[in-house]
Amino acid sequence: MTSILILGANGQLARNTTRIFLRDTDARLTLYLRRASRMGNPDPARVRIVEGDVTNHKTLQAAMQGQDVVYANLAGDMKPQAECIIEAMHGAGLKRLIFISSMGIYSEVPGERYRSVLDPYRDSAAVIEKSDLDYTIVRPGWFTQDDQVAYQLTQRGEPFKGHDVSLNSLSDFIAKLALSERLGVPP
Ligand SMILES: NC(=O)c1ccc[n+]([C@@H]2O[C@H](COP(=O)([O-])OP(=O)(O)OC[C@H]3O[C@@H](n4cnc5c(N)ncnc54)[C@H](OP(=O)(O)O)[C@@H]3O)[C@@H](O)[C@H]2O)c1
Q: Which residue has the higher pLDDT, 179 or 112?
A: 179
Q: Which helix (H) or strand (E) holds 47?
A: strand 47-51
pLDDT score of 112 more than 90:
no
Tell me how far apart the alpha carbons of residues 87 and 93 are, in angstroms, rounded to a whole number: 10
Q: What is the DSSP letter of 103?
A: T
Whether 131 has a pLDDT exceeding 90, the answer reads: yes
SS3 (DSSP) at 135: strand
Instruction: Give the mean pLDDT of 100-116.
Output: 92
Q: How confident is the model at residue 133 (pLDDT cuts 50, 70, 90)?
A: very high
Residue 7: strand pairing partners: 32, 72
Residue 114 clears pLDDT 90, i.e. is over it: no
| 54 CB within 6 A, ligand 1 | yes
pLDDT per residue as tens digits for the range 60-105: 999 999 999 999 999 999 999 999 999 999 999 999 999 999 999 9
Strand partners, 89: none
* 20-34 pLDDT per residue, tens: 999 999 999 999 999
Once rounded to an integer, what is the mean pLDDT over residues 156-167? Answer: 94
Residue identifier of the C-alpha nearest atom 7 of ligand 1 = 102
Distance CA 167, CA 49 (A): 22
pTM over the 0.95 mark: yes
Residue 3: predicted pLDDT: 98
**C-alpha span between 148 and 67 (Å, rounded):** 30
Residue 43 binned pLDDT confidence (cut-offs 50, 70, 90):
very high
Q: Is 23 left (phi over 0), alpha (psi -120 to 50) or beta?
A: alpha
Substitution site in 12, 144, 167 for ligand 1 pocket (most atoms within 8 Å of beta carbon): 12
- Residue 115: the pLDDT is 84
Q: What pLDDT score does 162 carry?
A: 86
Q: Tell me the average pLDDT of the chain.
A: 97
For residue 169, give every residue at least 6 positions away whose Cβ sits within 8 Å of its Cβ, in sequence order, or none: 148, 149, 150, 151
* Distance between Cα 35 and ligand 1 center (Å): 14
The CB of 78 under 6 Å from ligand 1? The reply is: no
The answer to whether the CB of 10 is under 6 A from ligand 1 is: yes
Q: How confident is the model at residue 117 (pLDDT cuts 50, 70, 90)?
A: very high
**Cα 153 to the center of its chain, rounded Å:** 16
Write down the pLDDT at residue 185.
Answer: 96
Q: What is the DSSP string of 142-165?
A: EEE--S--------TTSPP--SEE
Residue 62 contacts residue 49 (beta carbons within 8 Å): no
CB 101, CB 117: distance < 8 Å: no
pLDDT value of position 52: 98
**Contact assessment for residue 10 and residue 33, using Cβ atoms and an 8 Å cutoff:** yes
Residue with the nearest Cα to atom 39 of ligand 1?
Answer: 10
